[in-house]
Chain A
Amino acid sequence: MPAKKATSRQPARELLFGNLWEYDPAPESAPAFIDAKYNLFINGKWTTPKSRKHFDSISPRNEEKLSEIAHAGLSDVDAAYQAASKAFTSWSKLPPADRGKYLFRIARLLQDRAREFAVAETLDGGKPIKESRDFDVPMAAAHFFYHAGWADKLPYLAPGRRVEPLGVVGQVIPWNFPLLMLAWKIAPALAAGNTVVLKPAETTSITALKFASILQEADLPPGVVNIVTGARETGAAVVTHPLAAKIAFTGSTAVGKWIQHTLAGSGKKLTLELGGKAANIIFDDAPLDQAVEGIINGIFFNQGHVCCAGSRLLVQESIAETVLAKLKVRLKSLRTGDPMDKNTDVGAINSKPQLDKIRALVQSGIDDGAEIHQAPWSLPNKGFYFAPTLFSGVTMSQRIAQEEIFGPVLSILTFRTPEEAVEKANNTPYGLSAGIWTDKGSRILKMATELKAGVVWANTYNKFDPTSPFGGFKESGFGREGGKQGLLDYTTLA
Chain B
Amino acid sequence: MKITKTPKCYVGGAFIRSESGRVRPLNDSSGTFLANIPVCSRKDLRNAVEAAAKAGPGWAKRSAYNRGQILYRLAEMLEARGPEMSEAIALSGTTKNNASLEVRTAIDRIVHFAGWTDKYEAILGSVNPVATSHFNFTVTEPMGIIGIIAPDSSPLLGLLTLILPAITSGNTVVALVSETSPYPSILLGEMLATSDLPAGVVNLLTGERKELIPTFATHAHLRAISASATTPEATLLQQGAADSLKRVILHDPKSDWHSPTHDSPYPIRDLIEFKTVWHPIGT
Contact = CB atoms under 8 A, between A and B. Distances in A.
Contacts of B123: 159
A306 to B, nearest CB: 15
Interface in B208-246: 223, 231-232, 234-239, 241-245
B164 to A, nearest CB: 17
Interface stretch (B10-18, B34-42, B270-278): B270-278
Contacts of A469: 126, 128, 138, 274, 276
A256 B131 CA distance: 31
Contact of A261 (B131, B132, B242): B242
A470 interface: yes
Q: How large is the interface on B (under 10, 10 to 19, 20 to 34, 35 or more residues)?
A: 35 or more
Given A264-B242, A467-B130, A456 B277 contact: yes
B273 A473 contact: yes
A158 B266 contact: yes
Interface string A124-153: 000000000000000000100000000000
Nearest to B127: A467
Grouping DSSP codes into helix (H, G, I), strand (E, B) and loop, the B interface class, with mixed when no group exceeds half, is mixed
For A142, A272, A469, which residue has the most chain B Cβ atoms within 10 angstroms? Answer: A469
A456 B232 CA distance: 39
A458 B277 contact: yes
Interface in A283-338: none
B129 interface: yes
B279 A458 contact: yes
Interface in B100-127: 123-124, 126
Contact of A445 (B232, B241, B279): B279
A259 B6 CA distance: 46
Contacts of A260: 238, 241-242, 245
A474 B245 contact: yes
A468 B130 contact: yes
Contacts of B124: 485
Contact of A483 (B126, B131, B241, B278): B126
Contacts of B266: 158, 161, 493
B279 A257 contact: no
Interface in B256-281: 264, 266, 269, 273-280
Q: Which 10 A-B pairs have the closest CB atoms?
A: A265-B235, A264-B238, A261-B242, A260-B242, A465-B130, A264-B239, A467-B128, A459-B280, A468-B128, A264-B235
Interface of B: 123-124, 126, 128-132, 134, 136, 138, 223, 231-232, 234-239, 241-245, 247, 264, 266, 269, 273-280
16 contacts: A257-B242, A263-B238, A264-B237, A441-B279, A454-B273, A455-B276, A457-B278, A460-B280, A465-B131, A468-B136, A468-B278, A477-B245, A483-B126, A484-B126, A485-B124, A485-B126
